[in-house]
Structure 1
Amino acid sequence: MTLQLSPVDLLERLVGFPSVVGTPNGALMDFVVAYLSAHDVPCSLLKGPEGDRYNLFATIGDPSVPGYVLSGHVDVVPAQEPEWKADPFTMRREDGRLIGRGCCDMKGFVAAALAAVPALKQMDLPAPVHIALSYDEEAGCKGVPHMLSALPDLCAAPLGCIVGEPTGLVPVLAHKGKAALRLLAEGRAGHSSRPDLGANAIHALLPALTAATTQARALQAGPQDPRFAPPYSSLQIGTIKGGQAINIIPEAAQAEIEARAIAGVDPQSLLAPVLEALGEGVRAEWMSTYPALALDADHPLATLVAGITGQEPLGAVSFGTEAGLFQQAGVPSIICGPGDIARAHRPEEYLTEHELSGAVDMILALGRALAA
């Protein structure tokens, strides 16, 4: 492989892999492994239980010394919106914009980390810099827990983790946690004129759905954390499916409910009233869960990242990341990456060349701070 790939070239290559959440990512990871190997950077490819998706962990420096993790996910959301002006998996360059699915969320940060590798290798770092790439973050952070369980075998306990989700390269100290629950009801079909001979699956869901709406209202009273918008934990019913026709008793129905928790609140606990209200013929399954992030403003990691970005940390953001899971695993974490979250999950998603180069500069500043 050619050693000299610019940040833009690397992003173009990464975008070219259609690593949509829930699909195989082996081709992309093989590319990253080949690139790192060309720079003599050891890495571990960690197969997930799905069998066709991988996490990757690489280390620049001595893995037996505590260092810092640069974390990013390589999966992207689907790109089926008709507003795309061209193939979303072929990156386009227009007026300083790098356009393609994942450019902003968050292959831009991954490209920046990879682009910084040659310079980091030359710094003779006394503390290592790790690159951690995960899969299926967009499905509720399903991939990274498998990597975190292997972390003690991969390196000394890290001093901190920078999760490069798009924040405009402003450090962010906190985000809410999330839990998602699917309810599935089984009934018995029949003609609506004889409800006594059937069992209405939609009706069976109603006690749990009522409990959900009651809990949603109750959460507005607190506890509250003014760093978040809204400042309280929240709960909503996101989808309801069921029934074939108005005159057929529905034999199956389902609903999906999510809870978002402020720091210090277990997101799964917010759904306890829903689980307690499950009636006969209704079962629940967890779709995903991840904890909130909360890093103290005076933590050494916050001071470090403020120094390498020149930006004072922001209290909180409303979207979730893998940072809470790193924190739960004992790794202090902060969010800081290029781009704007408002561009994510949208057609014509883009990152500017200036934002990409700024992310490379931040990572090189981290290396210089460690080497100082």
Structure 2
Amino acid sequence: MSKRLEQVWAAIDPERLRRTLLEMIDIYSPSGKEEDIQLYLEEILAATGIPVQRQEVEEERFNLVARMGPEPPLLYLVGHVDTVAAWDIEDYAAKEKWGVVRGLGSADMKGGCAAMVETWLALASLPEAERPSVGLLLVVGEEENGDGSARFLEQECPAWVVIGEPTSLLPAFSHFGYMEIALTTQGRRIHSSLPELGHNAIESMLRVLLQIERATLFDSTEEPKLIYSIREMSSSRAGFVVPDRCEAMIDLHLSPDTDPARVRQELEKILVKTRRAIKGLQLEVSFDFESGGYQLDRNNPLSVTLEEVFPRLNLPLEFVPFRSHSDGNLFFQAGSKPLILGPGSLETAHTAEEQTSLAEVEAAARVYAALALGEGFQ
């Protein structure tokens, strides 16, 4: 282990890191309302004396961008500070017990952000001449449309980014693609006691979804190419009547080597057959979002650093694909090479059981420090 890395690891303060994480979780920051948490983090980062830039995304919404070292950074640590909306606005704050921290965003991804901020503070403790050329980017809007990262990429596209999404500290150089599909069925409203005289939009939607689910496109295997999820379904509500409208949203997560355009074409064929098969069906379909996945060559300088540092931290090194959507897709499309790596797990993210461990968050800070100091970039 290099002397510089020893110095930086010694400068990582577990109690300061714990406090940062708990205070970040206690600041409610759903997408669109990130100003308070950015002001909090700006104050912490500015105390190092290293300039912190506000990058405006829209009024009262801004990214934080900081850079250190003698050269333009080839590597950025990237975290999103926004969360999904609280499942219970009275009960979203941090709770700590036996080294486990629960609360909204604890895994996705305030744990990763807190670790990156602690890494930055530890790197800043080095003499200026010994600091690596590295950047820190804290973005808004990832949980909605990625507008924070998109704004950054308008001005800069670093060679590498490390994104602290929850992976249980298993590195992901490959990433699933993602599609969103909106479906609407129309029916005929009639009194609920006379359903045979109406047309039930919910029944039509259920038949459509069943046709899609049964398609060979979604045949399950040990390593599925497509992961199909009905995310939302709602209908018109107007008293004791047969509903005349139903809306559903489908998520598709695509393995890294699956082309979204091909999937869309196959789904369009399925829907043509579905319209013919279901009597009286009135169906509207829109493909609202699609983004391809990627798979990076693991023969790279970040991988070399991980192979060196994980045994030192007694961490299992297993390379996995990242199965959710993230800003990693945006960075890859722009020309960056993303590594997804962070504390916490997707299993609890976006749920009332969201959690991460302080041990994982501290280990993440040490891994981020090693990546920032990696010989491949300095």
Query: Greater CA deviation, 94-103 or 281-290?
Result: 281-290
Q: Kindly tell me: are residues 231 and 281 of structure 1, through their superposed partners in 2, closer, same or farther at Cα, counting changes over 3 Å?
A: closer
Task: State the distance in 2 between where 1:269 and 1:308 align.
Answer: 40
Matched, 1:309 2:310: yes
Q: Cα deviations across residues 294-346 of structure 1 (Å, max 9, x unaligned)?
A: 12221333223333434534132433432232222211111211233334334
Task: State the distance in 2 between where 1:240 and 1:101 align.
Answer: 24
Match of 1:129 among 89, 113, 134: 134
Equivalent residue for 2:225? Answer: 232
Unaligned runs of 5+ in 2: 1-12, 276-280
What is the Cα deviation at residue 200 of structure 1? 5.4
Q: Give the TM-score normalised by structure 1.
A: 0.78
Contact 1:74/1:106 (8 A) holds in 2 = yes
Contact 1:55/1:143 (8 A) holds in 2 = no
* Letter paired with 1:331: S
Task: State the distance in 1 between where 2:195 and 2:167 align.
Answer: 57
Equivalent residue for 1:260? Answer: 253
Q: Kindly tell me: are residues 95 and 182 of structure 1, through their superposed partners in 2, closer, same or farther at Cα, counting changes over 3 Å?
A: same
Q: Any idea what SS the aligned residue of 2:371 has?
A: helix
Q: Kindly tell me: are residues 48 and 61 of structure 1, through their superposed partners in 2, closer, same or farther at Cα, counting changes over 3 Å?
A: same
Q: Kindly tell me: are residues 253 and 304 of structure 1, through their superposed partners in 2, closer, same or farther at Cα, counting changes over 3 Å?
A: same
* Letter paired with 2:169: L
Equivalent residue for 1:104? Answer: 107
Q: Kindly tell me: are residues 316 and 244 of structure 1, through their superposed partners in 2, closer, same or farther at Cα, counting changes over 3 Å?
A: same
Task: State the distance in 1 between where 2:85 and 2:227 align.
Answer: 26
Q: Cα deviations across residues 202-257 of structure 1 (Å, max 9, x unaligned)?
A: 46657854652343x33427xx8xxxx63322334444332558973433211211
Q: Kindly tell me: are residues 48 and 304 of structure 1, through their superposed partners in 2, closer, same or farther at Cα, counting changes over 3 Å?
A: same
Please give the residue correspondences for 1:153-168 in structure 2 after superposition, counting only pairs within 5 Å: 153-154=155-156, 157-168=157-168
Equivalent residue for 1:138? Answer: 143
Q: Kindly tell me: are residues 289 and 38 of structure 1, through their superposed partners in 2, closer, same or farther at Cα, counting changes over 3 Å?
A: farther
Q: Kindly tell me: are residues 241 and 96 of structure 1, through their superposed partners in 2, closer, same or farther at Cα, counting changes over 3 Å?
A: closer
Contact 1:175/1:263 (8 A) holds in 2 = yes
* Letter paired with 2:133: P
Q: Cα deviations across residues 116-142 of structure 1 (Å, max 9, x unaligned)?
A: 223322254675222222334334xx1
Contact 1:14/1:28 (8 A) holds in 2 = yes
What is the Cα deviation at residue 33 of structure 1? 1.9
Contact 1:243/1:249 (8 A) holds in 2 = no
Contact 1:211/1:274 (8 A) holds in 2 = no
Match of 1:9 among 13, 16, 19: 19
Equivalent residue for 1:242? Answer: 235
Query: Greater CA deviation, 268-277 or 94-103?
Result: 268-277
Q: Kindly tell me: are residues 220 and 41 of structure 1, through their superposed partners in 2, closer, same or farther at Cα, counting changes over 3 Å?
A: farther
Task: State the distance in 1 between where 2:229 and 2:364 align.
Answer: 35
Task: State the distance in 1 between where 2:152 and 2:322 align.
Answer: 29
Q: Any idea what SS the aligned residue of 1:6 has?
A: helix
Task: State the distance in 1 between where 2:195 and 2:361 align.
Answer: 64
Q: Cα deviations across residues 57-111 of structure 1 (Å, max 9, x unaligned)?
A: 322235x6242111222122344369xxx9431x333222333222222211111
Please give the residue correspondences for 1:287-366 in structure 2 after superposition, counting only pairs within 5 Å: 287-310=288-311, 312-366=317-371
Match of 1:148 among 134, 147, 150: 150
Equivalent residue for 2:122? Answer: 119
Task: State the distance in 2 between where 1:348 and 1:60 align.
Answer: 37
Q: Kindly tell me: are residues 264 and 116 of structure 1, through their superposed partners in 2, closer, same or farther at Cα, counting changes over 3 Å?
A: same
Q: Any idea what SS the aligned residue of 2:123 has?
A: helix
Task: State the distance in 2 between where 1:235 and 1:339 align.
Answer: 23
Q: Kindly tell me: are residues 241 and 153 of structure 1, through their superposed partners in 2, closer, same or farther at Cα, counting changes over 3 Å?
A: closer
Q: Kindly tell me: are residues 259 and 271 of structure 1, through their superposed partners in 2, closer, same or farther at Cα, counting changes over 3 Å?
A: farther
What is the Cα deviation at residue 182 of structure 1? 1.3
* Letter paired with 1:252: R
Contact 1:259/1:270 (8 A) holds in 2 = no
Equivalent residue for 2:52? Answer: 43
Q: Any idea what SS the aligned residue of 2:362 has?
A: helix
Task: State the distance in 2 between where 1:219 and 1:125 align.
Answer: 53
Match of 1:58 among 42, 45, 66: 66
Query: Greater CA deviation, 116-125 or 172-181?
Result: 116-125
Matched, 1:170 2:157: no
* Letter paired with 1:58: A
Q: Any idea what SS the aligned residue of 1:340 has?
A: coil
Match of 2:98 among 67, 89, 95: 95
Matched, 1:29 2:38: yes
What is the Cα deviation at residue 281 of structure 1? 5.3
What is the Cα deviation at residue 195 of structure 1? 7.1
Identity of aligned residues (%): 24
Q: Kindly tell me: are residues 317 and 195 of structure 1, through their superposed partners in 2, closer, same or farther at Cα, counting changes over 3 Å?
A: same
Q: Give the TM-score normalised by structure 2.
A: 0.77
Aligned positions, number: 349
Q: Kindly tell me: are residues 171 and 251 of structure 1, through their superposed partners in 2, closer, same or farther at Cα, counting changes over 3 Å?
A: same
Q: Cα deviations across residues 168-214 of structure 1 (Å, max 9, x unaligned)?
A: 32322223211111122345534575977x76544665785465234
